[in-house]
């Protein structure tokens, strides 16, 4: 297989993932809490409104640091959105927090009408997204939320890859005008970026370069994608890995250039395969540069209770599943090589 530099354009600003024991694991929700405190202290128009889940969503720290900018309303997600829209119309920058399954899940009509239709400057903090919520089970595992949010006109959708990037994304969202959905998780996940790693809404990041297959991922599964790429390199398969943290507006240029470089793409997300980040990648490539695509995500199923790591594996989103998808994509690539076949069972 043709090979290229192992590190991407900002590879020097990433943590070395080869030493698993040295990696720090922190929930992405912690980054949201830290970012919200910093945003609130620098701008008193930033307010936090929570639906009775301050500790779980990591708004508890903001409540203590900026008590005059915090509102608790109880379990009322529809009211959460409506109240925030009114405050945004008066010049405030409301961050509204709940589990993603309930906000935007339960409150989607209010999100559509009071946020997106009226273009109000409300920021939804969707916590506990994906099957990695674990024991909470199917009723609390939002794996359709990217789909229902990206379809809304005017809506920005951001899915950071780790806690450090979630903090940066929270600060960026506070400064960027427009209705926004910020998605993050409950469980600890490896921190792969550093303080120096840049972040810009709408600008995807190349974390690794290779000319065989482009892996385009978002959220905490970016780490799995990097591990898969590292292991595949041992078999002579070099993958580009892109952290596609902004699902909307997506970095079309980065997606197209990755497809041109590699000739085939694998998308990776902790979400339904239907309608999510991967679907948007497919839409872009179908219009501008069609190539074979494989999708890693939940295959038209609901979640279930279980250990977070086991659920990721069970629903086909672990490192081995990504490697298998890469090999499938490679077999479909014109002029594919025998290395598309695994040396051992994966």
Catalytic residue among 34, 55, 77, 270: 77
From residue 220, how far is each of 1, 8, 117, 245, 288 by CA, in Å? 28, 18, 30, 10, 28
Active site residue 77: yes
105 alpha carbon, distance to own chain's centre:
17
| Contact between residue 322 and residue 295 where contact means Cβ atoms under 8 Å apart | no
Distance CA(49)–CA(213), nearest Å, equals 43
Distance CA(296)–CA(331), nearest Å, equals 16
DSSP state string for 252-299: HHHHHHHHHHHS-EEEEEEEESTTSHHHHHHHHHHHH----EEEEEE-
Distance CA(46)–CA(16), nearest Å, equals 35
Do the bridges between strand 188-190 and strand 25-27 make them parallel or antiparallel, or are there none, so unpaired?
antiparallel
Q: Where are the alpha helices (DSSP H) in the chain?
A: 28-42, 60-65, 77-89, 108-110, 145-150, 163-175, 221-233, 252-262, 277-288, 308-314, 319-332
Distance CA(279)–CA(286), nearest Å, equals 10
Closest CA to 216 of 335, 224, 132: 224
21 alpha carbon, distance to own chain's centre:
24
Tokens at 328, concatenated:
């499938």
Distance CA(28)–CA(160), nearest Å, equals 8
Tokens at 275, concatenated:
């309608």
Angle between helices 28-42 and 163-175 (to 10 degrees): 30
Task: Catalogue the active-site residues.
Answer: 77
């Amino acid at each position: 297989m043709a090979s290229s530099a192992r590190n991407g354009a900002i590879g020097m600003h990433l943590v070395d993932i080869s030493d698993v024991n040295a990696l720090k694991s922190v929930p992405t929700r912690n980054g949201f809490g830290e970012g919200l405190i910093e945003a609130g202290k620098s701008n008193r128009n930033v307010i936090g409104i929570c639906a009775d889940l301050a500790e779980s969503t990591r708004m508890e720290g903001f409540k203590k640091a900026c008590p005059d900018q915090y509102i608790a309303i109880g379990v009322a997600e529809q009211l959460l959105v409506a109240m925030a829209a009114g405050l945004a119309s008066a010049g405030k920058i409301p961050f509204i927090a709940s589990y993603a399954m309930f906000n935007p899940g339960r409150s989607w009509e209010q999100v559509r009408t009071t946020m997106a239709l009226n273009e109000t400057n409300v920021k939804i903090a969707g916590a506990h997204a994906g099957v990695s919520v674990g024991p909470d089970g199917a009723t609390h595992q939002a794996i359709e939320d990217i789909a229902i949010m990206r379809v809304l006109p005017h809506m920005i959708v951001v899915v950071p890859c780790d806690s450090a990037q979630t903090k940066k994304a929270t600060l960026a969202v506070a400064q960027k005008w427009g209705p926004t959905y910020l998605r993050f998780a409950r469980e600890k996940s490896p921190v792969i970026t550093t303080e120096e790693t840049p972040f810009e809404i709408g600008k995807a990041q190349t974390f690794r370069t290779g000319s065989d297959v482009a892996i385009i991922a978002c959220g905490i599964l970016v780490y799995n994608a990097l591990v898969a790429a590292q292991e595949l390199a041992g078999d002579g398969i070099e993958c580009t890995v892109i952290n596609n943290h902004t699902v909307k507006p997506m970095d079309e240029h980065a997606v197209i250039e990755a497809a041109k470089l590699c000739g085939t793409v694998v998308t990776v997300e902790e979400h339904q395969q239907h309608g999510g980040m991967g679907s948007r990648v497919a839409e872009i490539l179908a219009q501008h540069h069609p190539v074979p695509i494989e999708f890693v995500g939940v295959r038209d199923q609901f979640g279930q209770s279980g250990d977070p790591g086991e659920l990721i594996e069970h629903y086909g989103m672990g490192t081995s599943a990504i490697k298998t998808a890469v090999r499938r994509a490679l077999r479909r690539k014109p002029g594919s090589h025998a290395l598309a076949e695994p040396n051992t069972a994966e």
